[in-house]
Amino acid sequence: MKKFLGISVAVILIGLLLFLGVRYYFVFGEGVKAGELNYVVKKGYIFKTYEGKLIQSGLRSKTPGTIQSYEFEFSISDESVAQKLMVSSGKQVELHYKEYLGSVPWRGYSAFVVDSVIAIQDIAK
């Protein structure tokens, strides 16, 4: 009976570790988003993380004659990337991100984590 209990506990622990690994550390997807950088802030009570918002505009919408706007909320994993983006608020940026299935407090509030900046341009007026 002790042997069966020990094997059961080991299988449950291995299953739990696999679940947590896939849920929080497996990169589900990655890509590039472009738009106007709205803001980047450092926030958090215990784990201080960088969070940001990118406004993507588009011409297609469900209502004819209107412009649809998308907001892309993200976390930033690297402090140097965050500092570069903090001084670029209001500019047109292209960001490379990784998408996780879940977020962890020390990585940020969002499942989308920006890991690099591809381009920063001033918005033509």
Question: Model confidence at 76, in pLDDT bands (50, 70, 90)?
Answer: very high
pLDDT in tens, 17-42: 998 888 888 888 999 999 999 999 99
Res 3 pLDDT > 90:
no
| Per-residue confidence (pLDDT) for residue 77, from 0 to 100 | 87
In Å, how far are 10, 19, 61 from 99, measured between CA atoms?
30, 17, 25
Amino acid code (one letter) for 82 = A
* DSSP character string of 64-107: TT--EEEEEEEEES-HHHHHHHHTTTTSEEEEEEEEESS--TTT
pLDDT in tens, 41-71: 999 889 999 999 999 876 655 666 666 668 8
Structural domains of the chain in order of their starting residue, each with its CATH number: 27-121 (2.40.50.140)
Helices in 1-61 by DSSP H: which ranges?
2-25
Q: What is the mean pLDDT of the chain?
A: 87
pTM of the model: 0.76
